[in-house]
Amino acid sequence: MNSISQGLVLLQAAAGSSSGQMVSTLVTFGLVFVVFYFLIIRPQNKKQKEMKKMIEAVKKGDRIVTIGGIHGTVHAVKEGTVVVKVDDDCRIEFSKSAVATVSASKVEEKAAEEPAPAAEKPQKTEKTAEKSEEEKK
């Protein structure tokens, strides 16, 4: 009889300590989930949104690369597909989801390469003229 009562006392003690362990385990799992959310899930969602915006902004003349590695120029944009001009007489139709990267069109690239017209030089004010004279001395 004594051993049964000792066993019951041990079971009660084990049950009391396991509830404390369960709470700490749940808190630990919660913290791990929060860390995973900020390190993995959230950046991935941002990347997906940027990719969706990029694909929606594809227009005729843009240079693209597909997920299969095909480089070409967008010839036409349809609702769910893009017609890519790969060569002079070769056009391939791809799903919009097959677009991996989009670069600016050739016209936009040329405009970016040309230097901007030189801005007028600012006229020297009296203070800057005095400073330059002092530096010369």
pLDDT tens track for 67-91: 999 999 999 999 999 999 999 999 9
Q: Are 30 and 22 in contact (CB under 8 A)?
A: no
pLDDT at residue 5, as a whole number: 64
Distance in angstroms (rounded) separating the CA atoms of residues 87 and 71: 10
pLDDT at residue 100, as a whole number: 93
Nearest Cα neighbor of 74 from 51, 57, 53, 49 is: 57
Q: What is the pTM of this model?
A: 0.53
pLDDT at residue 48, as a whole number: 94
pLDDT at residue 20, as a whole number: 73
Half-sphere exposure of 48 (CA within 13 A, CB side): 6
CA separation, residue 3 to residues 6, 7, 17 (Å): 5, 6, 21
pLDDT at residue 75, as a whole number: 94
Tell me which residues of the chain have a pLDDT lower than 50. Answer: none
Q: What strand order describes the sheet that includes 99-103?
A: 90-95, 81-87, 71-77, 63-66, 99-103
CA separation, residue 50 to residues 7, 53, 56, 85, 113 (Å): 62, 5, 10, 25, 26
Both structure tokens of 107:
């016209």
pLDDT at residue 40, as a whole number: 93
